[in-house]
Structure 1
């Protein structure tokens, strides 16, 4: 019986990172993509040479993939002591699908922007659109990264 005892130096199984680290990483990803979309649609970024669709349909998904891949690899390294690089890349490759779907829905149903745009009555139309885009980008980034963080801490056998 004494041979089966678990001590603090030899845990029986890996427990993964605590939820605080996963939440903070998901918040950081959500904040970064939200601020990007706020600055893109509010036209704080000088982008006269680029079309409007480039930000939400190309740059934001790529940004979410890069941030998600980095945080997933960090979580797996902290949880398991090693990283499965290709597995993490496969997991994060689904990120553009819900992001593009969200922008398509916002394009067809602009009324979804009105509750957020209505909060700033005195702002320019670009600022109001930027606020609503940032709001939706923050929440989609937060939820996507939170789901990916759960799978990132799965250790290889």
Structure 2
């Protein structure tokens, strides 16, 4: 069985996909190592903007500003993945903060979300690949009896 190839997305396609959604995953280096968080985001020129509260994300960004950000999804019979790497910086300057506050950034969870962060996109990569029919992975053991979940 030969695997169908994936193909690399150009920067324009990656940004188009980033603009098509508002939910992604932010990867930071926390006190105990790598951490990944689902976050809402929006595009601001060639950067991503997120809004967050006090806690692990903002502390990690202050200590280690280098981050990765990912979105992925499925469209028809293909899947895609886009990764953004760059430095994250808390927005504190009044003029920048005024511009950012007007962006459509609605966090999923309630609570105080008074920190705005900009991720400067230094590297944007993506790929698209065909979705394999799930029956491809069936085997003689697929229908075997299993112990009930405990």
Give the TM-score of the pair, scaled to structure 1: 0.30
- Between Structure 1 and Structure 2, which shows a larger proportion of strand residues? 2
Give the TM-score of the pair, scaled to structure 2: 0.31
- Between Structure 1 and Structure 2, which shows a larger proportion of helix residues? 1
* Larger RCO, structures 1/2 (Cα 8 Å, 6+ apart): 1
